[in-house]
Amino acid sequence: MNLMDYAYTVTFVLLGAAVLLALYRLLRGPSVMDRLVCLNTISVLLVSFIAVEVALRGDPAYIGVVITFALLGFVGSLTAARFAERRAHDRG
């Protein structure tokens, strides 16, 4: 194994640990907004994981998948923020 293989392995382990911590917060989050932030964090980590996998394989075919997941995560965050804004406005 060369140095880049170690770097990829460490990156995958750290991304996996971050996903596990985010899942823990998702399950234990005291509020809905905490859970929404965790879902957004998990989507960003998923995009990062796929991007590192693309770099590892050197196959640009998955770039479209990365862009699609990133856009879905962004739209989901906007939708959640708009929902939270309306909910706060309705509560007064």
DSSP code of 33? H
What residue spans of 1-92 are helical by DSSP H?
3-28, 32-57, 63-91
Identify the structural domains of the chain with CATH numbers, from first to last: 3-91 (1.10.287)
Query: What distance in Å separates the CA atoms of residue 49 and residue 91, rounded to the nearest whole number?
Result: 39
What is the tens place of the pLDDT at every residue in 52-74? 999 888 888 888 889 999 999 89
What is the tens place of the pLDDT at every residue in 22-55? 999 999 988 888 888 898 999 999 999 999 999 8
Angle between helices 32-57 and 63-91 (to 10 degrees): 170
**Token pair listed for 63:** 């770039």
pTM: 0.83
